[in-house]
Amino acid sequence: MAIFKKVSKSGKYQDDLAIHNLITYITRPDRAKSRMIGGIGVNPNCIADSMVQISNAFNKNSRIRLHHFIVSFTRWEYADPGILYCIGMEISRRIGPEFQIAFALHEDTDYPHLHFVFNAVSHIDGHRYRGGKREYTELYHLVRGVIRGFLIKELLPVDYGQ
């Protein structure tokens, strides 16, 4: 069973440097070994700058600037990095229409995991993602639904000889 973890650190993720540091961390070649990196609404060559640009355009460059969450898997759940990349893209596709998002697959541990970072400022109208309990629950269910969809797709093609 996949594990969902929202990463929140008091006083963190509140300036341009924090955005650059977190994007640099999730995209590090020693962590994202297969270079399975993607996102929606960001320039893949300068993800952090894309997010800073939106925050500055809406003059929302204080308080929490981004949100970070991780989805971990066991090797027996998904051995294929391509499937994990597809899961990452589907989650990003669902968040991306409103908020810029980037993700990277880390394969440096016994548990492959996807790191997601999304801008707290909407690129549509500049409103902020609140990140409260209700939003956390919605995010959890969104992630769970995407993962279930991939599990169902893998389990459906069973022929019982009918």
Packing angle between helix 133-155 and helix 81-95, nearest 10 degrees? 140
User: With contact defined as beta carbons under 8 Å apart, do 139 and 6 qualify?
Assistant: yes
Task: Give SS3 for 155.
Answer: helix
Packing angle between helix 16-26 and helix 47-57, nearest 10 degrees? 150
Beta strands in 55-137 (DSSP E): 66-72, 101-106, 113-119
> What pLDDT score was predicted for residue 18?
85
Share of the chain above pLDDT 90, in %: 49
Average pLDDT for 11-16: 73
> What pLDDT score was predicted for residue 153?
45
Average pLDDT for 49-65: 91
What is the spatial distance between Cα 129 and Cα 31, in angstroms, rounded to a whole number? 28
| pLDDT class of 47 with cuts at 50, 70, 90 | very high
Q: pTM, whole model, 2 decimals?
A: 0.87
Which residue blocks in the chain are alpha helix, DSSP H?
16-26, 47-57, 81-95, 133-155
